[in-house]
Amino acid sequence: MRGDIKLKSIKKNTLSELVMDEIINLLISGQIKVGDKLPPELELMERLSVSRQVLREALSSLETIGILKRKTRGGTYVTNKIGSRPFRIMLASSAANIETLIETRMSQELGFVTLAAESIADKELEGLKYTIDSMKNQLGHYDELDKEFHRIITSSASNNVTAGIIEPLMNFFYETYYTISEKDRNIELTIEQHTAIYEALKNHDPFEAHKAMYLHLDNVRRRMKLARTKQRNVTNEEVNLNE
């Protein structure tokens, strides 16, 4: 990244998403491009007037959705995927709004499951069944099995354009979802709903598949809202105790 780039100073009491916004604005304006290397952390901290923690949170979020790539002892670069996947920039701008991410995921995955019902192959159905059976018998890590179930569905119906939308969206969604306890995620209900989705896909019924996926994602949305409310209440209680 060139030394003459103009960065706006970020106030210390702002959140890391403002740092993300500033970096995204540099991409949109063309001041940094695909493959460019960002300045060292100390330089960015000074030019943005933020702490190391705030900067690293922002860089980590941008890396999660594929805008940046950090190399060990090699610095931080703008990934070459950004040119073909501009949706990542829009996703980054809403990274702090989990409700927006959930609604976006629902709008995308409901379409994918409908298409998948028409074209899903036997091998992919076997993969879905395997994740469900593994969840039931606790043969693998729940989080990874859950993610794999949805990955199979989206990959069976996606193309190069839609993959550029759903991949970063799902990655960022799960980064947040995995912070919720398994108790709040209700594994038994997830298995039941995954089974309903699988049966609809097995029968190649797009209407039933859409309905089953909606019920599942709506439950996910409700559980995430409830879990975040609990987290905020705990945080407020800790603040009150320390006052």
> What pLDDT does 83 receive?
45
| Domain range annotation of the chain | 1-96, 97-229
Whether 63 and 70 have beta carbons less than 8 Å apart is answered as yes
Length of the chain: 243
Q: Is the fold of 1-96 the same as that of 97-229?
A: no
Per-residue confidence band for 12, with pLDDT thresholds at 50, 70 and 90: very low
| 241 φ/ψ angles, rounded to the nearest 5 degrees | -65, -30
Q: Which amino acid is at 210?
A: H
How far does Cα 194 stand from its chain's mean position? 20
Q: What does the block give as tokens for 106?
A: 């629902």
DSSP letter at 68 equals E
Q: What is the pLDDT of residues 97-141, one digit of tens each?
A: 677 778 888 998 999 999 999 999 999 999 999 999 999 988 778
Residues in CB range of 219: below 8 A, 6 or more apart: 186, 189, 193
> What pLDDT does 135 receive?
92
Q: What is the CATH number of domain 1-96?
A: 1.10.10.10
Q: 222: exposed, middle or buried (C-beta count within 10 Å: 0-12, 13-18, 19+)?
A: exposed
The answer, yes or no, to whether residue 182 has pLDDT greater than 70, is no
pLDDT > 90 fraction of the chain, expressed in percent and rounded: 30
- The CATH class of the 97-229 domain is mainly alpha
Q: What is the pLDDT of residues 73-93, one digit of tens each?
A: 788 998 765 544 456 556 665
> What pLDDT does 128 receive?
97
Rounded Cα distance between 28 and 20, Å, is 12
Rounded Cα distance between 90 and 111, Å, is 20
Q: What is the pLDDT of residues 18-36, one digit of tens each?
A: 888 888 888 777 788 878 8
* pTM greater than 0.75: no
> What pLDDT does 170 receive?
81
